[in-house]
Structure 1
Amino acid sequence: MQLSPEQLSANGYRFQSSIRFESINQFVQDRLQRGGALLRLYWLCVVASVFAMSHVLWKQDIVTLDLLAGGIGFGLAGFLVIVLPAHEAIHGITYKLLGAPSISFHADWKRMFFFAAADRFVLNRREFILVAAAPFILLTIGLLAAQFFTNGMLQLAIATNLVLHTGGCIGDFTLVAYSMSLGEKFCTYDDLQKQETFFYQK
């Protein structure tokens, strides 16, 4: 979207709402309570990822403590070292492909909140959904595909990553659900100085 935040009002957009970065967890909880079709899809994806992990265990000739500890332990380590950074990198790459001049990455370990931001770069609805959904789509496909080419402890580690990543996408799903509730003529941007995400509607 070829508009700056200062140009939104002149182009017919009016301020709708904002979310402070420190309040994102409360925002997620509020949206979950409201529900909706997209969030029902999210929970279905979570259940499916748990089922996929259960299927991996069911396929094993024998499930040992070493298999469980190793698979889940390596899965958790892989999630923190590989999958989580890859998730944010995909957000950043998508921003870049849309023309964002600069990208920054942020982590709030206290709130377990991680995000990529393009400071004051305005996105329309289609662009915002693309940025938010790209990591879930690409990594879900990649992790599911990887399960077909592995077995044993490695396969369990990948299945663990699938569960953790699907669960961790709740923020992206709730933001997309909120954006869809605002209608077609909607735009948003992050302001790093103010530590807020702004939403405008036409």
Structure 2
Amino acid sequence: MMTGQLIQSLREQGYEEYSRFSFNELVIPLREGLKSGNIYATSFFVVILTGCGGMGALAAFFLLSDTLTGSQMAGWTLACIPATLLLVPLHELIHGWMFRWYGAKDVRYGVIWKKLMFYAVAHGFAVNYRQFRYIALAPFVVISLLLIAAFLLVTAPWKALILGVMVFHAMCCAGDFGLCAYFYQVRHRQPLSFDDADGDVTYFYTLPDLKTENP
């Protein structure tokens, strides 16, 4: 469906535009979401703090047990950054697969190099709050589970690398958690989101004055 037709259809159903952002501006709603203190924002910060604590504890264990030297630990930690970047294609493909799972036909991928922001969008395809949260958080869940499984199977140096990748990847999921948190604020108004990939714009539509909350 073309974006104009979708907007017209939503208006006929009583929806109204809540907000719109160019892809370059999506940092605005994700920051608002992360500042909201709701379940998604809190979960994100808990994950990051837990991961950093785990990295510190593992580093202390390796150093005190002479498993790794300080320079080796630093080297493996720095290697986490390029290793995490290698996961970007898989991360975005999981977003895309989830869009297709819900019925999207026109899924596109892109990157905004100035902000090093990678994205997957479904052109002219509206998703509701429940669908949005699964699409947004699926890469975090799937990749984290794969890394946890790998962590349990490898030796000490690789454990340091994998735990670091888990933390850095979680940090890279700030946008996913932030947009879920943004969406969560208006969940009682049956919000929908869709993308105009031709115009590089993301729209959020809601019903007015709807009081029934989605769990």
**TM-score under structure 1 normalisation?**
0.90
Structure 2 residue ranges without an equivalent (≥5): 208-215
Q: Which amino acid aligns with 1:86?
A: L
Between Structure 1 and Structure 2, whose CA radius of gyration is higher?
2
Structure 1 residues 23-53: Cα deviation after superposition (integer angstroms, max 9, x where no partner): 1223333333343332122101001111222
Q: How does 1:78-117 map to 2 (within 5 A)?
A: 78-81=83-86, 83-117=87-121
Counterpart in the other structure of 1:124: 128
Picking from 57, 63, 72, the partner of 2:59 is: 57
- 4+ residue stretches of structure 1 with deviation over 6 A? none
Match of 2:155 among 151, 154, 168: 151
Q: Does the alignment pair 1:18 with 2:24?
A: no
Structure-2 change in CA distance of 1:196 and 1:33 (3 Å): same
Identity in percent = 26
The aligned counterpart of 2:46 is: 44
The correspondence for 2:184, drawn from 174, 180, 187, is: 180
2:123 touches 2:194 (CA, 8 Å); kept in 1?
A: yes
Amino acid at match of 1:178: Y
Amino acid at match of 1:187: L
Q: Cα RMSD between the aligned structures?
A: 1.8
User: Does the Cα contact within 8 Å between 1:89 and 1:116 map onto a contact in 2?
Assistant: yes
Once residues 106 and 38 of structure 1 are traced to their aligned partners in structure 2, the CA distance between those partners, rounded to angstroms, is: 25
CA distance in 2, matches of 1:197, 1:135: 20
Offset from partner CA, 1:108-156 (integer Å, 9 cap, x none): 1211211101111111111111101111111122222221111222111
- Would the alpha carbon gap of residues 171 and 90 (structure 1) be closer, same or farther in structure 2, given more than 3 Å must change? same
Indicate which of 177, 188, 194 corresponds to 1:189: 194
Contact 1:5 1:122 in 2 (8 A): no
Q: 1:102: Cα distance to partner?
A: 2.1
Residues 32, 182 of structure 2: 8 Å contact kept: no
Q: How many corresponding residue pairs?
A: 199
Q: Which of 76, 87, 91 pairs up with 2:81?
A: 76
Bigger drift between 180-189 and 20-29 goes to 20-29
Q: SS at the partner of 1:104?
A: strand
Find the aligned partners of 2:202 and 2:184 in 1 and give their Cα distance.
16
Give the residue type in structure 2 aligned to 1:180: Y
- 2:142 corresponds in structure 1 to 138
Per-residue deviation at 1:159? Answer: 0.9
Give me the whole-angstrom Cα distance separating, in 2, the residues matched to 1:130 and 1:33.
21
1:198 to 182, 194, 203: 203
Determine helix, strand or coil for the equivalent of 2:26. Answer: helix
Distance in 2 between the 1:66 and 1:18 partners? 47
**In the aligned structure 2, how far is the partner of 1:66 from the partner of 1:33?**
36
Q: Secondary structure at the residue paired with 1:110?
A: helix
For residues 145 and 57 of structure 1, the distance between their equivalents in structure 2, rounded to whole angstroms, comes to 20
